[in-house]
Amino acid sequence: MKIKFLLLLSLALSIFLLFGSLNSGTAYGGIGDTTGSPLSTMTCSGGGCHGGANYGASVTISVLDDSGNVVSSYIPGQSYIVQLSISSTSGSPTGYGAQAVVLDSLNNQAGTLDTVLTPNSRISNFDNRFYLEQYGLNSGTLRARWTAPPAGRGRLTIYSAGAAVDGWGNMTDDEASAAVSISLTEAPTSAVLHLQNEALSIFPNPATNGIFNIQFDGESGIYTFEITDIIGKTVLKKEIQLESGISFPIELPQQCLSGFYFVSLSSKNKRLSGMLRK
């Protein structure tokens, strides 16, 4: 009788730990890759976990530049936003979950997921690879900053899978989405060199009083200037006329607190970015 009780207790504890791991992200929980990538040990859509409901769940992957434009290629070393959008077409799920990873053609980690930009999201390290995944119930959007790898990595693939859940934690009234993926091509070397030759200078940095200058040695013209905080919220955006080699003064809005901010300068065919500290 005692042995039977211990077996049942062990089974209950295992199920509890499994549910907790899935709720907090499978990479964080030690289960691993469930994105449908070549590294996946299981996928929820393959009957590995969530099932029983019919929400019409699906997940979409997008990569955005600092101006919010969807891109299909990357400039080595540049910063982008990886966005997962999980949705349903029927029923009333309580929340959503998802996981994503960026890999090269050899299934190695490509670039770095370094900052989450949405609530109930986390970046987890599993087997020396970074995964963007939910932390608890998510409202349907996961976003994170991703820095592209150095030149020479070629085509990259982002893999993802998601789920619409009822929030009770038993996984029997949930529905997993199909696994999806998108590819990113590496920008031509000539384009990368062109941007490297047009360095964006930000000074003084830190800008302790909130006033700083920007200067670059590229083509004169009208550019879109934008500053975002570390969670991706735009704090200043405007069109400015820049002259090559001439500094342009900028003042942060008074409500900006001390910390780090992303600065970007873009036109139709180029984008420069940097970081400012107040």
Show Cβ contacts of residue 213 under 8 Å, excluding neighbours closer than 6 positions: 201, 202, 203, 204, 247, 248, 249, 250
Q: Is the pTM of this model over 0.75?
A: no
Q: Find, among 162, 161, 154, 209, the residue nearest to 185 by Cα.
A: 154
At the second CATH level, the architecture of 197-277 is Sandwich (2.60)
CB 175 within 8 A of CB 55: yes
Tens digit of pLDDT at every position of the chain (278 positions):
545 444 443 433 333 333 344 456 677 777 789 899 999 876 665 455 555 556 778 899 999 987 788 889 888 888 899 999 888 887 777 778 889 999 999 999 999 998 899 888 999 999 989 999 988 766 788 999 999 988 888 999 999 998 887 655 555 567 878 899 999 998 765 444 344 445 678 888 888 888 999 888 778 888 899 998 866 788 999 999 988 888 899 999 988 888 878 888 888 767 777 778 88
In this prediction, residue 62 carries a pLDDT of 94
Cβ count near 9 (within 10 Å): 10
* Residue extents of the structural domains in the chain: 2-187, 197-277
Taking the CA atoms of 214, 212, 206 and 252 in sequence, report the sign of the dihedral they define.
negative
Q: What fold, for 2-187? A: Immunoglobulin-like (2.60.40)
Rounded CA gap, 5 and 68, in Å?
56
pLDDT on residue 169 = 56
- Would you state the structure tokens that stand for residue 259, as one six-digit string? 């910390």
Tracing tokens 């500094």 back to the chain, one arrives at 247
| CATH topology agreement for domains 2-187 and 197-277 | yes
pLDDT value, residue 276: 83
